Amino acid sequence: MTTCPVCSGALPAQRGPRARRYCSRACQAKAYRARQRQDQEYRVAPGKERELLEAYAGVPAVELADSLAAAARRLASALNAGRPADDFDLGAVASIPVVLAARARQAAPAAQALHGIPDRPRTPTVTVVDLVAEPAPPRATVQAPPPESSRDDSVPPSPQPAGAREKTAPARRKRLSQKAARAVADSARLVKGADHRDTHQWDLIAEDGTALGYVEPSYGGTGRTGRNGWNYRLVDSFMVSGPYKTREEAALQCALAWTRIATAPVQRALTAD
């Protein structure tokens, strides 16, 4: 740094091991007072939490997190370059964490009540045991006759029952012709997803009800919202492709990718019996 960040004047020659940051004691004191004002101005008091919740009431949590990340990156760039911090970024870094924490505390009782309800069929451990062998609960619920029940007790259950293959083996995909796949892809339309208000996600649905994929915003830009385009993701896939400039372009690429997969040869899965 060769100029003073306060008055933009030239810095005097270095006279010690530490480089000079300000041209004079007056500029150093002025910078200190400015930092103190910023600290007092952007420090959130406990009583302002309700005001912040009302101010950010209509902003989804995902968008708040992306705005916070973008503001933090800009602040870090300003610090590395020796530039003064932006007031908007300081306000975002100070306010958004308070809003997110308050929302999390409000949602905690509902989440605890939801997890407190027993939901055994949805838990991973019950699913695994049910797929391998769980003779006692089925006998209690089905209430088999005594002869069959005793016969089941004497003979160990099969490690791979017929029902287990139906649960674990995925449905075999049916290969479509180029004409049929293009007809499905051409009839696809973008529909707002169930959680569109929070995630801004769109579903790509064909006229016959076939779900091709999802289109959602891509974040990573330096603007206020942090968006830099649109991504797409196929159904039953975690791979995200993008970003694309417009939502329609991402939907078109999603339809083309679905067409390629739907018309590809079906590979036979190898199973060890």
Mean pLDDT, residues 31-54 taken together: 73
What is the model's pLDDT at position 226? 79
What is the model's pLDDT at position 123? 41
Distance CA 173, CA 185 (A): 17
Residue 6 confidence (pLDDT) above 50: yes
Residue 76 confidence (pLDDT) above 70: yes
What is the model's pLDDT at position 115? 56
The token pair at 223 is 């603007």
More confident residue, 15 or 241: 241
The token pair at 133 is 């062998």
Q: What is the pLDDT of residues 92-105, one digit of tens each?
A: 888 888 888 888 88
- DSSP-H helix ranges across the chain: 25-41, 49-55, 61-81, 87-116, 124-132, 136-142, 146-154, 162-168, 178-186, 196-199, 247-262
Q: What is the pLDDT of residues 214-257, one digit of tens each?
A: 999 988 777 777 788 899 999 888 888 888 989 999 999 999 99
What is the model's pLDDT at position 15? 76
More confident residue, 126 or 1: 1
Residue 46 confidence (pLDDT) above 80: no
Mean pLDDT, residues 54-74 taken together: 87
**Taking the domains of the chain in order of start, what are their residue ranges?**
25-113, 178-262
What is the model's pLDDT at position 47? 66
Mean pLDDT, residues 152-180 taken together: 62
Residue 121 confidence (pLDDT) above 60: no
Residue 203 confidence (pLDDT) above 90: yes
What is the model's pLDDT at position 131? 34
The token pair at 232 is 């797409």
The token pair at 191 is 């529909």
What is the model's pLDDT at position 104? 86
What is the model's pLDDT at position 240? 86
What is the model's pLDDT at position 105? 83
Distance CA 62, CA 217 (A): 11
Residue 188 confidence (pLDDT) above 80: yes
CA diameter of the chain: 101
65 class by beta-carbon count within 10 Å (0-12 exposed, 13-18 middle, 19+ buried): middle
What is the model's pLDDT at position 51? 80
